[in-house]
């Protein structure tokens, strides 16, 4: 068994790594950015520091190993009113799968709504409208190797569509969760969105062109096809520390600190906390994107309630997040365990 002090030193070293490395930013060079939108309102209210969270189905997005700690069957629906009136929805369900531990499946979707088509010749709009829509289908499982150590993984297929052109690919997520003690330090890590590149295709890329504009009498409407680059996915590595602690029957807290190493941006950190009263009411606060240059994201707040009706347990959580000049984002999650 790993000594708790050694585990703590290793975790602190990993958390300090972002501050010791400098790399060129690749912001805006990847597809599937909707995979980075955190769906769960509970953890979003804690600054999205969720890689060590081991309570609830919403933690699976941050670390697939979290599903191993779920007891029984659970389903959760999350809706986000994202920036620029973008709708973001996430549904996930989990259940025991025998010797494999617990399995889960989820659907994630994003839709921009109607957007005016604008060109240089018609900057106020051509009269046409288009949409951006994304979807991801996921299956995965997590298992407790010991009473303190859990592992998990998932496979996703995603498709990103812009008007009449789309790109699709597959990705995997893996994670580990180590609980030094039930009422003390937790250490977690995960690798998200590791997959193959994809290029766009569709009738918007079919064109007619003139092979030689200076020659008269030739065919000026030759059919052609524009090829796009093959875009990578926004790979993200998370590592963090969590400290869930119950003082007595009435009061409990959960403090969390996560460090992020993305493949297409700069390193950053997020911190958050939760205070719970009798497992009925919870208040949360956090700060995300610490040390990220030119960041717009910042403070987060949240609240939630839990209860029981017959043999069913339920929870409802809300989160608010400040995104500076871009505005505010709101999330709502509702879940049932049975």
Residue 54 has pLDDT above 90, yes or no: no
Supply the pLDDT for residue 25.
Answer: 66
Measured CA to CA in angstroms, residue 81 lies from 73, 78, 160, 258 at distances of 27, 10, 19, 24
What confidence tier does 170 reach under pLDDT thresholds 50, 70, 90?
very high
Residue 14 has pLDDT above 50, yes or no: no
What confidence tier does 218 reach under pLDDT thresholds 50, 70, 90?
confident
What confidence tier does 24 reach under pLDDT thresholds 50, 70, 90?
low
How far is the C-alpha of 282 from the C-alpha of 170, rounded, in Å?
36
Q: How many helices (H) and strands (E) does the chain have?
A: 2, 19
Supply the pLDDT for residue 189.
Answer: 96
What's the rounded mean pLDDT across residues 223-247? 92
The structural domains of the chain, with segments of one domain joined by +, span: 4-8+29-117+127-197+232-337
How far is the C-alpha of 274 from the C-alpha of 280, rounded, in Å?
13
What's the rounded mean pLDDT across residues 222-243? 92
Q: Give the whole-number percent of the chain exceeding pLDDT 70.
A: 92
Supply the pLDDT for residue 17.
Answer: 46
What's the rounded mean pLDDT across residues 144-172? 95
What confidence tier does 84 reach under pLDDT thresholds 50, 70, 90?
confident
Cβ count within 10 A of residue 284: 25
> Out of 173-187, 218-232, 254-268, which region has the weakest mean confidence (pLDDT)?
218-232
How far is the C-alpha of 220 from the C-alpha of 246, rounded, in Å?
75
191 vs 204, residue with greater confidence:
191
Q: Which residues, in sequence order, are bridge partners of residue 80? A: 88, 331
CATH architecture of 4-8+29-117+127-197+232-337: Beta Barrel (2.40)
Which own/partner contact pairs does 213-219 have at CB distance under 8 Å and 24+ positions apart?
none
pTM of the model: 0.85
């Amino acid at each position: 068994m790993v000594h708790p002090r050694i585990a703590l030193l290793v975790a602190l070293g990993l958390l300090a790594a972002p501050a010791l490395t400098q790399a060129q930013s690749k912001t805006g060079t990847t597809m599937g950015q909707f995979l980075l939108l955190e769906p769960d309102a509970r953890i979003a209210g804690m600054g999205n520091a969720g890689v060590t969270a081991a309570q609830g189905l919403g933690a699976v997005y941050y670390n697939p190993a979290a599903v191993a700690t779920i007891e029984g069957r659970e389903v959760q629906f999350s809706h986000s009113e994202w920036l620029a009136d973008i709708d973001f929805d996430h549904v996930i369900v989990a259940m025991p799968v025998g010797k494999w531990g617990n399995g889960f499946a989820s659907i994630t979707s994003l839709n921009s709504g109607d957007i005016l088509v604008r060109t240089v010749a018609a900057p106020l709009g051509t009269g046409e409208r288009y949409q951006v829509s994304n979807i991801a289908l996921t299956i995965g499982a997590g298992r407790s190797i010991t009473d303190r150590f859990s592992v998990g993984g998932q496979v996703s297929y995603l498709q990103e569509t812009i008007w009449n052109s789309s790109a699709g690919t597959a990705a995997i997520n893996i994670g580990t969760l180590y609980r030094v003690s039930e009422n003390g330090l937790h250490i977690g890590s995960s690798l998200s969105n590791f997959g193959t590149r994809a290029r766009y295709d569709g009738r918007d890329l079919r064109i007619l062109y003139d092979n030689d504009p200076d020659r008269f009498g030739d065919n000026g409407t030759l059919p052609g096809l524009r090829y796009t680059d093959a875009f990578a996915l926004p790979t993200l590595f998370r590592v963090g520390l969590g400290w869930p602690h119950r003082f007595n029957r009435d009061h409990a807290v959960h403090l969390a600190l996560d460090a992020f190493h993305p493949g297409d941006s700069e390193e950053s950190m997020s911190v958050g906390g939760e205070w719970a009263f009798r497992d009925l009411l919870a208040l949360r606060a956090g700060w995300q994107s610490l040390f990220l240059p030119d960041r717009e994201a910042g403070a987060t707040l949240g609240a939630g309630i839990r209860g029981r009706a017959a043999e069913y347990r339920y929870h409802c959580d809300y989160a608010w997040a400040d995104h500076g000049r871009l505005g505010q984002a709101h999330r709502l999650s509702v879940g049932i365990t049975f």
